[in-house]
Structure 1
Amino acid sequence: MPALIAHHCRVAAVLVALLCLSACASLVGPRDVSIPLSKLQAGVERRFPLHNKAIELLDVQLSNPRLFMQADSDRVGLRLDALVAPPFIKQSWGASLALSGRLSIDVARGDVFLNDPRLDQLSVDGADGGRQQQFTALVNVLLKQSMRELPVYHFQMEDLRYGGVQFVPTAIRTSADALVIHVEPVR
């Protein structure tokens, strides 16, 4: 009889342990990780000012980046100041521009990029309508080239380890004041 009770106790202990393990497994399921706008802003500021020689005809300097979320369209916006100067004349133009893009994740590099950049607004100080159109066309070309390799945020894979479980990003979206990355456990 004591052997039977001991056997039932061992079976009960195993069942309780399995129940606890299954409860723990549900704790490490998919989740959302929010990165506040202030942290994104600090990361972008480290990459500026940017200098670009556009087709050897213009020297373009981009500075003073200001990120903003467009949660309704799942895009991230970036306002910049620009200084545009042809190297062969002494005139330069100050400008302000706003662009936006969709976000994508390069898991292998640990980077979040701004894709599909779109120029939303460009204002060039002292430029007439024709010159304004020329600058707009030039900036659109430069955006597609330069923003392709500009990470908005960088994460380490160690940052995505919780409770001994490695997670991997699977989706990304914006909220009013943060970037939200959906992560799932590596299987």
Structure 2
Amino acid sequence: MIVLTRRRWLAVAAASAAAAGLGLAGCSALRSEYTFSQDQLQSALERKFPFNKRYMELFDIQLANPRLALDSTRNRVTVTFDATVDNRLFFRQPLTGRFALDSALRYDPPSHSLVLQDPEVRQFDVQGLPGQFARQLNALGGILSEQLLQDYPLYTFKPEQLRLAGSSVEPGTITVLPDGINVKINRP
């Protein structure tokens, strides 16, 4: 029969508590998923804008003030921007309007980011656009979403978010929720 003195009992209890604490801490570090709220994603997106691009050496395009909407029923996101299109050759002043795209999401390993996949134009309205340019502007909107915003990062993971027990992990299934995005982590 083992008899523990008060001092010895306290030492054993402290060691047990510390071990239990380490076990719990280890479990919390073994994340199997991340859920980002719409506000977190909106903040991450805002840091990546304004977006400026010159297209065909003719048009200067700026997208600013992104607003994110989540479509959980279709597992897609919609991003709406204030748009400015400038072409000093055709327009006296820059044209302004709204640009919206609808997109799926995927994980891009080289950039460690959730990126837009197969974005589609939902809206491209520019105020004061001469009628003869409407078709070209709509084509420009399609090109803008398909070529320039394809693989555009919505959220970039921090390195520590992609480490699990000393090993690298990658995000797997991405699910758009009514109020955020859930990303499952593939374990090694």
TM-score grouping bracket, smaller chain normalisation: 0.7 to 0.9
CA distance in 1, matches of 2:54, 2:84: 12
The Cα of 1:91 is off from its aligned counterpart by 2.6
RMSD of aligned C-alpha atoms? 2.7
CA distance in 1, matches of 2:98, 2:84: 9
Residue in 1 that maps onto 2:56: 55
Paired residue for 1:71?
A: 72
Partners of 1:77 and 1:140 lie apart in 2 by 15
> How far, CA to CA, are the matches of 1:166 and 1:46 in structure 2?
26
Could you say what secondary structure the match of 1:145 adopts? helix
SS of 2:149's equivalent in the other structure is helix
Name 2:124's counterpart in structure 1: 122
* Residue 120 (structure 1) shift: 0.7
Percent same amino acid among aligned pairs? 29
How many equivalent pairs are there?
Answer: 164
Q: Could you say what secondary structure the match of 1:87 adopts?
A: coil
**TM superposition shift of 1:42:** 1.0
**Contact 1:68-1:78 at 8 Å conserved across structures:** yes
Q: Structure 1: where are the runs of 5+ without partners?
A: 1-23
Counterpart contact for 2:31–2:164, Cα < 8 Å: no
Structure 2 match to 1:110: 112
How many Å separate the matches in 2 of 1:50 and 1:58?
Answer: 14
Unaligned runs of 5+ in 2: 1-23
1:155 aligned residue? 157
Aligned AA for 1:113?
Answer: V
Task: State the distance in 2 between where 1:149 and 1:61 align.
Answer: 18
Which of 131, 134, 138 is matched with 1:132 structurally?
134
